[in-house]
A and B are shown apart, each in its own frame.
Chain A
Amino acid sequence: MSSQGEKPHVPPPSLWPIGFAVGIACILIGLVVSWPVAAVGAAIAIAFGFLWIRDVTGSVREPVQAVEPETRRVADTGGAPKALEGREAMPPMSEEEIAAYPRSTFLSAATLGLGGVIGGIITVPVLGFAVLPSFTNQKDQSVELGPLENFAEGQFVIATYLEDFEIGEVTRRTVFVRNNGLLEDQPSFTILFSRCVHLGCPVQPNGLVYDEQKKTVGEKRVDLTPSLVTGFGCPCHGGQYDTEGNRTAGPPVRALDRAEFSIRDGKLWLGQFYSVGNVESTGARARIKKYDHATPGVHVDGPEAWLYPVEVPG
């Protein structure tokens, strides 16, 4: 198809944007992982960004040099050009000169560039506001579950509480608390989070729930219901767990999440949630493979966990 002397219509693709993108990616990852990575990313982005800009503006900058001969020639015709009339007033330009004076190209590049800068100044903070609040200032939960006497040894108590009293009912959560008795004189509790680790439905206790023995304790009005639990089952897709939270059937990919605990003035306090690969042995002697709190449905161990390399902040 190519006839002689025909130039390609588009310049060959430039590779600089790729480097620039890598730099931006490093910045984003660095913001989550560590500052030095972000700094390296910024350096990469600036370097490649400069090269990229130089590349795309090349067609604008280079011909500008050819402007010179044109202005000279006008001056060289002997002082001020004579005030001629009509067409003569403007010395005819050769085709080359017309091509060599890409004022319109400069202006359109400037318009685009300025527009881009203005657009960026407006968009970046707005996008930041759209995204960042979901990840920053996430409150650490810490809820008082009441005096230790309410937790008979070896028995699961269903504790329902509001994670954020101000926000209200929508933050209602449920944990299953079991007093494992003393291990080397230290109290031991198993606290399982009711959020199914398949896709997040509320798992229900299998067995007897003594609703009539329900108590409400503390100023945060935590509901405590004793129960005789033989395992947990999920209403959504039939996931089943044993009393240590290990999966026994159905689609869940790991064991139930657990919560840390502390005891202050004879009262049990709920601490941070964490995720669990699986649990060996039971009760106070359980050996728990512990991981940072993860989204339901996400593997925390094994090769599948490589698919989720970056931890979500907050």
Chain B
Amino acid sequence: MAVTPARRKSPRRAQIEAAALYPLDWLEERSGLVGAIKYFLFRRVPRDTSWAQTLGSASLTAFLVQAITGVILAFYYKPDPDKAYESIQIITNDLTLGWLVRGMHRWGASVFIILMFLHMARVFLYGAYKYPRELNWIVGVLLLTLGMAEGFTGYLLPWDQTAYWATVVGININGTAPFLGPFIAQFLQGGAAIGSDTLSKFYSIHMLVLPGAIAGLIGLHLYLVIRLGVTSPPWSPTEAGRERAPEPPSTNGREGLIRPSGRGGSNGE
């Protein structure tokens, strides 16, 4: 109800603005997506959220970096026992900026895992896994597991000695699981021993199965974050999960002017 005298826009300016907004309006009218994104970006969060709550978004960014650099690496990588090592050498040494994209993907993998752990630590320390957010914790655990499986399957792809023997050991660790272990190991290596199918199987899991599953689960994770809201820290003076209490009316000699309490109300309406 603020009556700031709106400065008249020149008709030309109004026209340009309308033209610029037209595509957005078109989209909004047909999908509601603009409103949804606005809701997502400008939703209410507790007052005392801090940098700690950005670790989830940081994990998301790391995942997106992995997805994009991974797609580009796949342009040049060849998942064939005779060519894999060589194609990695070509990416690193010959192709323009290949070293950079491969480096981003390789180091980014560790960053992604570390960020997930830091994010998990913040959720744990803030008690943010408690009712009603248990399900989101479980989704998070799945994301962590799938993220580590990405690390395991991706490690084989350079197809050098470290990659090969680390994977042999990793597969055989799976093989020692009780009852089904030997079956899991044989499934992973695609036969009684590591062979030509192992590499392409790991490649397929690494670039199709797991990223798809992770992307889907991130969607669910974020849906739950939006639906349930972000937890304020345990030391927060305001109660978590409640609407903010109305501002205490200031009473410096103007009692008569106090408005009935409403939402917010401190921004000089």
Contacts and interface: CB of A to CB of B under 8 A. Distances in A.
Interface of A: 131, 133-135, 138, 163-164, 167-171, 173, 199-202, 236, 293-298, 307-312, 314
Contacts, number: 82
Given A163-B193, A201-B168, A314 B173 contact: no
18 contacts: A131-B187, A133-B197, A134-B189, A135-B187, A168-B81, A168-B82, A168-B196, A201-B165, A201-B168, A236-B165, A293-B192, A295-B176, A295-B186, A296-B175, A308-B178, A308-B182, A310-B183, A312-B183
B179 interface: yes
Contacts of A312: 182-183, 186
B169 A201 contact: yes
A131 B176 CA distance: 19
B172 A310 contact: no
Contact of A200 (B171, B182, B187, B197): B171
Given A134-B189, A295-B172, 15 more contacts: A135-B183, A135-B186, A164-B195, A168-B81, A171-B193, A173-B193, A199-B169, A236-B169, A295-B175, A295-B176, A295-B182, A295-B185, A307-B179, A312-B183, A314-B192
Interface in B146-176: 165, 168-169, 171-173, 175-176
Given A295-B181, A295-B182, A296-B172, A171 B192 contact: no
Given A168-B82, A171-B193, A200 B181 contact: no
Nearest to B187: A134
B249 interface: no
B168 A134 contact: no
A201 to B, nearest CB: 6
Nearest to A273: B192
Contacts of A308: 178-179, 181-182
B265 interface: no
A314 B196 contact: no
Interface of B: 81-82, 165, 168-169, 171-173, 175-176, 178-179, 181-183, 185-187, 189-197, 199
Contact of B81 (A170, A173, A199, A297): A170
A282 B175 CA distance: 30
Nearest to A202: B165
B176 to A, nearest CB: 4
A167 B195 contact: yes
A131 B190 CA distance: 8
A138 B192 CA distance: 7
B184 to A, nearest CB: 10
Contacts of B178: 307-308
Given A199-B172, A236-B169, A298-B175, A134 B182 contact: no
